[in-house]
Amino acid sequence: MKMSNRWNQLIYRLWAPVYDATVGNFFLPGRTRAIELLDLRPGERVLLVGVGTGADLQLLPYGVQAIGVDISPDMLARARRKLPLPGRDISLLLGDAQQGMVEKASCDAVIFNLILSVIPDGATCLRVNLFALKPGGRAVVFDKFLPDESRLTTGRWLLNLGSTFFGTDITRRFGDLSKNASIRIVHDEPSLLNGAYRVILIHKRM
C-alpha cells in the first residue's frame, strides 16, 4: 500500500484516542534517549517534526522554546491538551512536514521521533526540516529502519503491506533517506526490539 497524507490523516484519526494508552509507554525509552542525546540547553529553539500527541513535549528541559508540527488535527488536539508545560514555551502548528513549516536557520535543534517511517516521503521530510537548523545545528532521529547493508526480503515486503495500512513503513533505510542531506552522523545506537529501532544523532554541516 502506498502511503499518503490523506491516508495518514485517516489512520491517525483512529490512533489519536488510544495512542498514548497503547504504545506510548513502549516508545518512551527511545524518545527519552533521543532527547537526552540532543542535550538541549535553556534558551535554545527546537523543532519537533511529527509531534503527534505530544509524547516528546514533557521530556523537553526547562527553558527551551519548541515548535511542533503535525498533519493530523486529531493527534495535534491531543498534544494541545498537554499544554501548557511549566518552563517551556511551546507552540503547535497543523501542516505538512514534507513542505517545511518554519523559517530557514531559525532552530538550534530538530527532533525526528517516529516520523521518517510514517510520512509518505521520508527523504524530503528530513531534508526540508534540516533547512530550519542553524549551520552546525543538531538533530536526532528515533525510528525503525532496515539496516543499510541489508536487502529487503520477500517476507518483510509482504509484512510491510500490512504495516503501511496502520500508518508505518518497515522497509526504509536511513542511509537512503539521508543520502542527499548535508549531515554528519555523530552517534548511532540500537534501541527497541533488539535494534530494529535506532537512535541517531546528526549534525548539520557548516
* Total-model pTM: 0.95
Tens digits of per-residue pLDDT, 137-166? 999 999 999 999 888 888 888 888 788 878
Q: What is the pLDDT of residue 1?
A: 65
With a CB cutoff of 8 Å and minimum separation 6, the contacts of 13 are 72, 74
Query: To 5 degrees, how large is the angle CA 193–CA 199–CA 203?
Result: 165
The low-confidence residues of the chain, meaning pLDDT below 70, are 1
Give me the residue spans of the domains in the chain.
5-204
CATH topology of domain 5-204: Rossmann fold (3.40.50)
